[in-house]
Chains A and B, each alone.
With several copies, the nearest count.
Chain A
């Protein structure tokens, strides 16, 4: 229970950080913000890797599919964001 409350505390603080930080992103960059934040939500890949390593074949297969899905999310998100941001140029 104490462990849960600690994790929940982290959750609450991270939400505050998220709100404060995201609110400062200007409309100009909202599309890259969407794809970029999308990319980091692929952090689930880390959990998926652990699922792969279970002795149970069924969960290994689930884990493998999850690694693939999450990794598409991660790599696709970062690369497309990079592509978009590379286009934003300043005068001169």
Chain B
């Protein structure tokens, strides 16, 4: 009866998670959706306290559990409250890794503790161990790369893919051993070591800017590890939740790959991140054709404009310019200019990255337009202001089929009457290729740090 109650609680929790995700699809209900998820989690945790084993462990058991819950909650809250919005990719990677780590340990404990492990338990334990360890270490490496703790050069060597394949095969071999003889529990920890090495060296060669795809995929893995743990413990709550998360991560990584017009395999194993060969050089593209402008000249453009579209990119995140952008928007709107934001699906370094930053600066979400919606309007736009975006506005994607970004859908800012591009130099973006937009007739460059540039524009606007 008790176990029935607990299982009902898990079912209720699963339903709350699903309904929560459904509500997460609309900005107006999203907060509520997240709360429903949290309530589901609370129900699952409270119900588990009634578990026969936990009750048998008595006061000491409860003490350890509560201590763990408390410590975890405090650390989690601190991390969540302290983190900067620009550091969200790292944060997700880190949290993700912790989930994977927990799966390793829970499955290991279940194996050590099992009286009479059957096939399902051992196979699922092996799966939890491998996926969990890859998730844990892969996520930590992703975090370290995004935080610039380790460089993009770290942990790359020739023959790496063979080495990784060897590690994967070793994990499988150790796994087979465990399945054959579940009493050799130390084999599990060897398996975790092999999978950990795999996790590290599978992520080190992935280029820094490809990291978000890796993170979404690791997110998916952490879900699958949870589902595998569910099979270990015969716990439907874990299985359902793990599958939901597994699906979520896969969909997000697919969306990113599609928006970059690349295959998942290419992102994970492909050579991008090194400089591309062929194609016109920067000199050929820019030579003598780039015009730069001062803040005052740009303000004159604004004075004759009726519609301005702002295109943020990775550089806005780096320079933390979002609040300055909000102020600029307010000033322009006060002068009767219509201002909208064009958000490319892979602008920045994470899906939805720009939306979060702009929302942080109190910009209403109905002004943030998706690619399909904003592209037809550039022809009626007087000034397009590109802040720290590069690849996502590179017209080469439309024109040169041999370019590494060929076929990637881009924001057609070049169709606007005038384009103002704010960045520090002519250096390329993540794809490493020159951008003919910067040399176009209707483009003016404003070379400066993103935030400083916007503040300069505001100053000049107020002076004018």
Residues of A within 8 A of B (CB): 1-19, 21-56, 58-60, 62-91
Contact = CB atoms under 8 A, between A and B. Distances in A.
Contacts of B7: 2, 5-6, 9
For the complex of A and B, list the 4 residue pairs with the smallest distance between their C-beta atoms, beginning with the closest.
A71-B72, A18-B247, A67-B68, A75-B76
Contact of A64 (B68, B91, B251): B68
7 contacts: A14-B243, A14-B244, A16-B18, A50-B106, A53-B54, A63-B109, A72-B72
Nearest to A58: B112
Given A37-B248, A40-B244, A52 B61 contact: yes
Contacts of B49: 49
Contacts of B366: 90-91
Given A18-B243, A60-B64, A73-B102, A5 B11 contact: yes
Contact of B249 (A2, A7, A9, A37): A37
A10 B30 CA distance: 26
Given A38-B96, A49-B45, A54 B364 contact: no
Contacts of A41: 96, 99, 219, 222-223, 226, 241-242, 245
Nearest to A86: B31
Which of A3, A56, A72, A78 has the largest number of chain B CB atoms within 10 A?
A: A72
Interface string B327-363: 0000000000000000101000011110110011010
B51 interface: yes
Contact of B75 (A46, A58, A76): A76
B316 interface: no
B98 interface: yes
A64 to B, nearest CB: 5
A42 B242 CA distance: 9
Contacts of A80: 79-80, 83, 88, 91, 95
Interface of B: 1, 3-4, 7-8, 10-11, 13-15, 17-18, 20-22, 24-25, 27-28, 30-31, 33-35, 37-38, 40-41, 44-45, 48-49, 51, 53-54, 56-57, 61, 64-65, 67-69, 71-73, 75-77, 79-81, 83, 85, 88, 91-92, 95-96, 98-99, 101-103, 105-106, 108-110, 112-113, 120, 215-216, 219, 222-223, 225-227, 229-249, 251-252, 255, 343, 345, 350-353, 355-356, 359-360, 362, 364-368, 370
A88 B365 contact: yes
A66 B71 CA distance: 11
Given A47-B106, A74-B72, 16 more contacts: A9-B236, A11-B239, A14-B239, A18-B21, A23-B251, A28-B355, A29-B27, A30-B252, A37-B249, A43-B242, A49-B54, A50-B48, A64-B67, A69-B98, A73-B96, A87-B359
Given A2-B7, A18-B247, A85-B34, A7 B239 contact: yes
Contacts, number: 405
B108 A62 contact: yes
A21 B233 CA distance: 26
B72 A51 contact: no
Contacts of A15: 243, 246-247
A81 to B, nearest CB: 5
A78 B41 contact: yes
B25 A29 contact: yes
Contact of B88 (A35, A47, A82): A35
A73 B242 contact: no
Q: Say whether chain B's binding surface is mostly helix, strand, loop, or mixed.
A: helix
A15 to B, nearest CB: 5
A70 B77 contact: no
B365 A65 contact: no
Contact of A89 (B40, B91, B364, B370): B364
Given A19-B251, A32-B356, A64-B64, A56 B241 contact: no
Contacts of A24: 22, 25
B64 A7 contact: no
A41 B45 CA distance: 13
Contacts of B45: 45-46, 49
Contact of A73 (B85, B99, B239): B99
Q: Say whether chain A's binding surface is mostly helix, strand, loop, or mixed.
A: helix
Contacts of B4: 1-2, 5
Contacts of A91: 364, 366-367
Which of A10, A27, A59 has the largest number of chain B CB atoms within 10 A?
A: A27
B352 A53 contact: no
A81 B248 CA distance: 15
Given A9-B14, A46-B44, A70 B352 contact: no
Contacts of A18: 21, 243-248
B76 A71 contact: yes
Contacts of B11: 5, 8-9, 12
Nearest to B242: A41
A27 B255 CA distance: 9
Contacts of B239: 7, 10-11, 14
A30 B215 CA distance: 13
Contacts of A30: 252, 255, 350-352, 355
